[in-house]
Structure 1
Amino acid sequence: MSSDTQLRLKRRALMAGLGACGLGVAAPRLALAQAIGLNDAATTEMERQAGSTIRHNISSFRALDWRPYFENTRNGAILVDITSRALHFWSEDQSIYKLYPTSVPLTDDLTRRGRTSVVKKVVGPEWRPTPAMKLRNPEWPDYVGPGPDNPLGTHALYLSWQYYRIHGTHDTRKIGRRSSNGCIGLYNEHIAELFSLTKIGTQVLLI
């Protein structure tokens, strides 16, 4: 196995251990390097590769029309493109269009696609790990209240699928990356704006 492959596997394993529907990598660069046994040169290479990935994603980060994805824009419409790691929003009267970068699930197994809708909106959300998360990571806390340590950031849109949300994050390094256990993450300033534009019943499609 090549050193590059070993590096990718180590990094993926660490992120999987730390990621949780928004509970992602929160260690500084040096701590992250020490945790997976990298020297400074290797850490620089890891960051260069991550940066390259983000730039590649931006190449497909483009405006879209709503018509191929929705029959109408009643109650507004949200399209989440997992591949380009982008969220698109159209208001009901189509006068407002927004495009935001996102974080997406770590693996295909954690990724859900299809149609759902916003069923609940919360400012200052609370966070509890799902039973599956707790089983995989028993050391995780059972509850995190609103605030800077909350993995859901400042706002959350709850979807009709149990445990799935579109939410903010205090760890801005996760945006543009695979870093969650299923949820879609946005910068806090972006989720605050999206929160103000959406309503209960806003259509959501993940592709």
Structure 2
Amino acid sequence: MTRFPRRHFLAATGAALFTPAILRAAETPEIRPEADGVRRNTSSFRRQDWREHFDSLGKAAIVADTTSRALHFWSGDGADYRIYPTSVPMTDELTKRGYTEVVRKKVGPDWTPTPSMIERNPELKYMPPGPDNPLGTHAMYLSWPAYLIHGTHDTRKIGRRSSDGCIGLYNFAIEELFALTPIGAQVRFI
């Protein structure tokens, strides 16, 4: 008689129970608010079509969707499309919408709070690159002053309204996006 070890039984049972959830997670359904009106921190993003936002891809194109809290990237030839979860501005007053472009990129950015940030929190001070820096490991500066797409060391911020206007990504995600995105890439905040 062949013996079926208990751990194999448990692994097989667990896999059978979670398979439907894994299959649902692989789909890209519309983001649906919960019944109580609160949007949960999920990664069920709706795919975007770059043609809805730009006349051409140019060097590359990025859409920062502040509603779904996702950043969409397309390479200049359209062969590479990626979606990243993001943090977004805390309030609509801090949210700028429209078209801009990547004008500068920096590994190990330093951070200086803006006067309006200091007004809201007088304890904020300049921060050199490092683990306490709110810009994380990489930053892409936009043609709008004080607006960036950057990393964050505080992973609790991703998927939430937590920034003062910038779009934040996990450090591993901004490192990947940074390598893919050329200076001059077009960006749209919606």
What TM-score do the two structures reach when normalised by structure 1? 0.72
Residues 170-181 of structure 1: pairs in structure 2 closer than 5 A: 170-181=153-164
- Which protein shows a greater Rg? 2
The alignment status of 1:53 with 2:40, answered yes or no, reads: yes
The alignment status of 1:86 with 2:99, answered yes or no, reads: no
What per-residue deviation string (whole Å, max 9, x for no partner) do you get for residues 116-164 of structure 1?
00000000000000011112211111x1000100000000000000000
Match of 2:167 in 1: 184
CA RMSD after TM alignment: 1.4
Structure 2, unaligned runs of 5 or more: 1-35
Question: After TM superposition, what 4+ stretches of structure 1 lie above 6 angstroms from structure 2?
Answer: none
Rounded Cα–Cα distance in structure 2 between residues aligned with 1:125 and 1:52: 31
What TM-score do the two structures reach when normalised by structure 2? 0.78
DSSP 3-state at the match of 1:53: coil
Rounded Cα–Cα distance in structure 1 between residues aligned with 2:146 and 2:177: 19
Match of 2:109 in 1: 125
What per-residue deviation string (whole Å, max 9, x for no partner) do you get for residues 164-206 of structure 1?
0000000001000000000000000000000001111000000
Rounded Cα–Cα distance in structure 2 between residues aligned with 1:69 and 1:52: 24
Rounded Cα–Cα distance in structure 2 between residues aligned with 1:74 and 1:111: 25
Match of 2:4 in 1: none
Rounded Cα–Cα distance in structure 2 between residues aligned with 1:114 and 1:78: 12
The alignment status of 1:145 with 2:128, answered yes or no, reads: yes
Count of residue correspondences:
154
Match of 2:99 in 1: 115
Match of 1:205 in 2: 188
Rounded Cα–Cα distance in structure 2 between residues aligned with 1:100 and 1:121: 18
- Measured after TM superposition, the shift of residue 52 of structure 1 is 6.2
User: Which residue identity is paired with 1:132?
Assistant: S
User: Which residue identity is paired with 1:139?
Assistant: E
Rounded Cα–Cα distance in structure 2 between residues aligned with 1:169 and 1:139: 19
User: Relative CO higher for 1 or 2, CA cutoff 8 Å, sep ≥ 6?
Assistant: 1
Higher share in helix: 1
Rounded Cα–Cα distance in structure 2 between residues aligned with 1:154 and 1:68: 31
The 1:180–1:89 alpha-carbon spacing in structure 2 relative to 1, beyond 3 Å, is same
Structure 1, unaligned runs of 5 or more: 1-48
- Measured after TM superposition, the shift of residue 62 of structure 1 is 2.1
